[in-house]
Structures are given as C-alpha cells and as structure tokens.
Structure 1
C-alpha cells in the first residue's frame, strides 16, 4: 500500500500551492528513494540540505527551502505528515497566505488613494493658475489650434476641459458652452481637431 508520504497527490497538493516549492517535488523523490517511512524520508531530505551546506553548493531541496516564506514552509512540512496534521499545516499556510494578500491589497489601495490625492492637488493648482490668467487662456487655446498639428489640438482640448471645470464650479457653464460652440464653428474645417473636440465633450 502506498504510504501518505510518497503519494504523488500529496506532493502535488503541497508543492503545487507555491511556485518556489515546485522544485522540491523532484528533490523530494530523490530524498525519499529507498526510505521505508516518513521519518526516514524526512531524514534523507535534511541530509540533502546539509550536504549542500557542507560542500558550498545549493541543491534543489536546499535552495527551495531556503527561499520559503512562512506559509510555504508550512506547505512543505505538510508533505509527509498524516492527513490530519497535513490539513492543519495547510490551513495554517492558507491563513498566512490570505493575511499577506489582504495586507498587499490594503497597501495597493493606500497607494492608489495617495496617487489620486496627488493628482487632485496638481489639477487644483493647474486650475487656479488658469483662473488667474483669465481671458488670456482663450487666446492661448486659439494659438494652439492654429498650430494645426496633433500636439496643438491636444493642448487646446486639454485647456478647454479645464476651462469647463472652472465654469461648472463658478456656475458659468452656459457661457462656456457658447464659447465652445463658437470655437467649433470657427474651426469646422480642421477635421482632426473637431473629432477630438466631439469626443471630449460629447458633441
């Protein structure tokens, strides 16, 4: 009868969870070849690791176990344990893995929030600068459009988007839309600019 410690399904279960553990499966076969029971198998595995340390080389077993995180270590320990012990170790590894994932998700969420706050501050600074420039901004928009190239159209559209935000904040949306339609009519022959304008403002 196949014992639990050399059951391929058990090894797959333990080594399949974590990428760093997969090389252990082959080294485990080498260590357990000829071992009569789980204890001898584990002793042979430790021998592989110890031999690598003494010779200054790094065996697959040694390099993999050295690189293990805590939850990966529990997965490795579960390979030759009785099913009840293995289940407990796997459960412990799962808890640690979930905790790390939750912490990583929280870190990413905090990073996104920080970036959004930075972008909002930069946008506010840009809008305040446009407010101070007043009607000069409209002349700048015309200058950018008259460049008749993609960078100019992009710059003009960006300024118009910011000017709409300012108009919405000040309750001047109607006046902004009047100016926008006037610009659209005046530059109707500039197809690329009109396409960008329509896409940006849903015209």
Structure 2
C-alpha cells in the first residue's frame, strides 16, 4: 500500500471521527432541549447540516444509538479519572470528577433531565441509568471496604450505608446546584466523604 493511500485513509478517519463528534454534540443539545422522546434524527441532522441518511451512516442504530453514545461518552470521561485507583486514592479522585463538570452546567442539566425522563421503564435509557447507579454504588462500596482494609476508615464502617449516603448526597447536591443555589460541590462532596474516613483526603 502506497504512502499516499495510507495518508488518505488517515485523513478520512479523522474526518469521520470529527463528524461523529459534531453529531453527538448536536444530539446532546437536542435531547437536552426537547427531551429524548420528542426529538428526532432529522432534527439532529439538520443541526449539523447533514441528511438523516448521513447521520445514520455514522450511527446505524438511529436515535437509540445516539442516546447510548452520548451517555457512554460522559461516563467514560469520569471512569478515566478513577481508573486503577484504590481506597483513599479513589475518594481523592472523586471531587476531580465533580470539578470537571463545573464549567459544563448545560451538559450537567441535560444529563439530569435525561436521567429523569428515563425513570420511565419504557424509556430506551432506563436500563443504562439503572446500571450506572449500580456501578457507581458498587464502586463506592468497594472503595470503602478497601479503605477499611488499608486502615483509612474505622473497622466497623458499614461500607454499603456509607456508599449509599455519598451517592445520595452528590446526586442531591447536583440538583441543588442546578436550581441556582450557591454551593461548592467539590468542597461539599469532599467534606461528606471525609465523614466516613479516618485519613485526610
């Protein structure tokens, strides 16, 4: 294969990746503004100056595939921050995830709106959000158990109760922040987590 052919393919791949990002951003905006149920692939296509067929070329599963991709991208960014971290280091990384959201208020609000809409068991994202909550809760519980094992928490700590408390607090704090109250989500979430640990975060 000639060098020019390789460069051409690389260029096409970059263009395709950039186009997918544009489509995902438009999909997120549409889902945020009018909700998933009322949205359409044609509206998403219109916003990126493409045909509906062009959008479906990149996302063959249509609107459902777009929704999954939008949700997965946000979760992947968070996972990258805590990947490979154990116990106390896991908890030290959590506020960093919150910090990355502070300048993305619109995105956080859209995600919250989608999660609320997905409370309907018939919603295509219902299983995603349900699974996500289980993963988050499980990750917190595991980290609390590791903190106990490493001497960073009291031996009698109820890891499940602590995990549930922290998840509930951060979810609620996010809603309060979106409502317009002057809260420091990073400091407040760190302070709440610290209640269950004996080592300083």
TM-score range, shorter chain: under 0.3
* Higher RCO (Cα < 8 Å, 6 or more apart): 2
The TM-score with structure 2 as length reference comes to 0.27
